[in-house]
Chains A and B, each alone.
Chain A
C-alpha cells in the first residue's frame, strides 16, 4: 500500500502546487512543487496573471477556476489551470500543471483552425476568380458590341466603293479591304460566341437538317481553300450515317470549320482530313464521331489542355495570326452539345481532334426540310417595278444612316425618310404612309422596341400593320425574341449583310 501512495505522490502531487496569499497579494506559503516562490514577494509581480486575484476578492464567489492559463517562470512555460479559493482573509491558489495535456490540445486546435481558414481562403479566391471572369465576359461583350456599328459602316461603304468606277489598282485595294473586313467580322463573331458561351447565354437551336449536304458544303469549301496548295483536303463519311438529323446546323458547322481552320493554320504540307463515322444507332438516336486530322506541327503534350483556353496561341514555330479563339469555341459548343473534344497529337507528325455526339435522327424523310443552305441573291423581281416604296429609316448613327440611305437609293426602288430621334418617330409615322420601317433599336429618348409597341397598339390598320424590321447590334437571342414579341416582323443584326437586309425587306413588301 505504501508504494501506491508513493506513486500517487510522484505523479499527481508533482503537478499540483498550493500557494497561500493574503489580501495584499503577499505570498505566505508555497509547497514549491514546480514553481519556486519567495515567501514575502507579491504574487502579481511574479506574473501579471495573478493581478486578477484582487478582482476575485471583489466578487461574492468562493472559488473561481481559470482554465488553460499560460504562466512563465524563470523562462519556463507552464500551461495550467488555476483555482482560487477564499479561506477566511486569505486566498488559496491551487495551480495544476497541465502542460502536456494542453500541448496536445493546441496541436488539434492548430490543425482545425488552419484548415478552416484555408478553406475560407479557397472560397474567397474562387469568388474572386468568378467575379473576374464575369467582368471579363461583360467587358468583351460590350466591347464587341461597340465595334459592330463602325464595322457595319465599313462593310457597307466598301460595298459601295466596289460598285463605283475603279481602276485596276483601286479595285485590288478594295479586294484587300473586303478580305480584311471579312476577317474582322469573323473575329468579332468569334469573340461574341466565346463570351456568350462563357456566360451561358448561347442556346442551341435544334432543327432537322441534312447532315450530308452540310458535309458536302464543307467538302466544297475546303477543297477550294486548299486547291493548288501543298495541302490536300479529304472528307469521308460512313455511308450508314443518317442523312437527316436534329441538331444546331450552324453550330455543328462552326465546330467543324473551326477545327479545319485550325488544322490549316498549323499545317505546312500534307493532308487534312474530316472523317465522320458511326458509333451506334439505336431507336431514333445516333452516336457519331467527328474527327479532324492534320499532318501539321503537332502539340506538345503539356499544352493539350491550354489550347482550349481563350486567347492562347501556341508559341511554337508556325506562329500564325489569330487570337486563338477557334478551339475554345469548339470546346464550348461541343460542351453545349453534351460532349467533349479530345485531342491526340505527336510533335512533327500531326494532330487529331475528335468528339462523339448523340443526336436524334429523322426516320421519316417526309420531314425533309427545305434546304436553305444556298444563299439567294435578293429577289427584287418580286417588287413592283413601277412603284417606289416608302421607307422610314429610324437610325441615329450617322454612318449607318448614310450607308443605308445610299444603298437603298441605288436600287431605285425606294423613297427614304430619315428620323434620328425616337421621340419624333411616332409623329412622322402618323403623318405619312410608309410601306416599311427600318428601326434601329438603340435610339436616344425612346427606344426602337418601345416605338414598335406603340405602333402595334395604334387603332388604325394602315399604321398598325406597317412592317417593321429591327436593326440592332444586340445579337443575343433573348433580346431578338423580345423584339419580335413586341411586334417587329424581323430583326437584322449588325454588322448586316446588305443582301440579307434587302431579302428581309422584300419578304414584307407588297
Chain B
C-alpha cells in the first residue's frame, strides 16, 4: 500500500513556501506574491525507489514572524517539517535557531529540514559567510525561481519519512 505522509511548510511570510511547493508540484513559478492565509493543502506522489512511492500531503501554512503563534491544529499528525527562510532577507533568519527550537517543541520527534530559499538573489560566497556569521546550518539552499535543489529537498524528505516507517 502507498504510504501517505503529512508534511508542513513553515517560515516567515514571503520566504517562498508557496513557490517551493508550486515548483515541486507543478514545476512552475510566478514572480507575483500572493499572501497565503490559513492553509493550502496539496498532494504529490513521490517515487522513493524502484518499487516504493510515498504520497506527500503538503500543508502550505501562512507565514508568520511569531512561530509560537502557529495554530496547533495544523500541526496535528505531522510526519515531517520543512522550515524555510529567505536568504535575501535577514529578518527571516535572524532568530532562526530560536524559531527552530520552538518548532521542535511543537512537533516533537518529527524530522525537520531547514531550507534557505531564493539563493538566486545572492552571491554564494557572501551567503556562506552570512550563514556562518549567524550560526545557521541550512540543509538545503534552494531557488523556487530556478528550481535549484527543490526536487532534491522534497525527495530527500519523502525518502526519509519512508525509511522511518
Q: Which A residues contact B (CB, under 8 angstroms)?
A: 47-49, 51-52, 54-56, 58-59, 64-70, 79, 102, 105-106, 109-110, 113-114, 116-117, 120-121, 124
Contacts and interface: CB of A to CB of B under 8 A. Distances in A.
Contacts of A64: 73, 76
Contacts of B4: 51
A70 B39 contact: yes
Given A109-B62, A113-B63, A68 B73 contact: no
Interface string B31-69: 001110111111100000000000001000011000000
Query: Which of B37, B43, B91 gathers most chain A CB within 10 Å?
Result: B37
B39 A120 contact: no
A196 B54 CA distance: 65
A47 B41 contact: yes
A110 B91 contact: no
Interface in B5-54: 6, 13-14, 33-35, 37-43
B35 A69 contact: no
A120 B91 contact: yes
B43 A67 contact: no
A24 to B, nearest CB: 14
The 6 closest A-B pairs by CB, nearest first: A68-B38, A55-B77, A48-B43, A110-B35, A49-B41, A48-B57
A181 B15 CA distance: 57
A48 B42 CA distance: 6
14 contacts: A48-B41, A56-B77, A64-B73, A66-B71, A67-B38, A70-B41, A79-B37, A106-B37, A110-B34, A113-B35, A114-B33, A116-B13, A117-B33, A117-B89
B73 A65 contact: yes
Contact of A58 (B33, B37, B63, B77): B77
Contacts of B14: 113, 117
Contacts of A67: 38, 71, 73
Contact of B74 (A66, A79, A106, A124): A66
A114 B14 CA distance: 9
A65 B35 CA distance: 22
A105 B6 CA distance: 27
A159 B43 CA distance: 85
A59 B72 CA distance: 13
A102 B38 CA distance: 9
A116 B91 CA distance: 11
Given A55-B6, A109-B62, 17 more contacts: A51-B57, A56-B76, A59-B76, A64-B76, A65-B73, A67-B73, A102-B37, A106-B37, A113-B14, A113-B35, A113-B63, A114-B33, A116-B13, A117-B13, A117-B14, A117-B33, A120-B89
Contacts of A102: 37-38
A67 B62 CA distance: 12
Interface in B64-107: 71, 73-74, 76-77, 89-91
A52 B40 CA distance: 13
Query: Which of A47, A48, A69 gathers most chain B CB within 10 Å?
Result: A48
A105 B74 contact: no
Nearest to B71: A67
Nearest to A110: B35
Query: Which of A59, A105, A113 gathers most chain B CB within 10 Å?
Result: A113
A64 B75 CA distance: 12
Contacts of B77: 52, 54-56, 58
Contacts of A66: 39, 71, 73-74
Nearest to B86: A117
Contacts of A121: 89
Contact of B38 (A48, A52, A59, A79): A79
A459 to B, nearest CB: 50
Interface in B114-132: none
B76 A55 contact: yes
A113 B33 CA distance: 10
Nearest to A53: B77
B131 to A, nearest CB: 17
A441 B33 CA distance: 59
Nearest to A103: B37
A478 B7 CA distance: 61
A113 B57 contact: no
A58 to B, nearest CB: 7
A110 B36 CA distance: 8
Contacts of B43: 48
A192 to B, nearest CB: 31
Nearest to A79: B38
A182 B120 CA distance: 50
A109 B37 contact: yes
A41 to B, nearest CB: 16
Nearest to A66: B73
A68 B42 CA distance: 15
Contacts of B73: 64-67
A113 B38 contact: no
Contacts of B41: 47-49, 69-70
A121 B91 CA distance: 10
Contacts of B42: 48
Contact of A109 (B35, B40, B74): B35
B39 A69 contact: yes
B118 to A, nearest CB: 12
Contacts of B62: 68, 109
A69 B76 contact: no
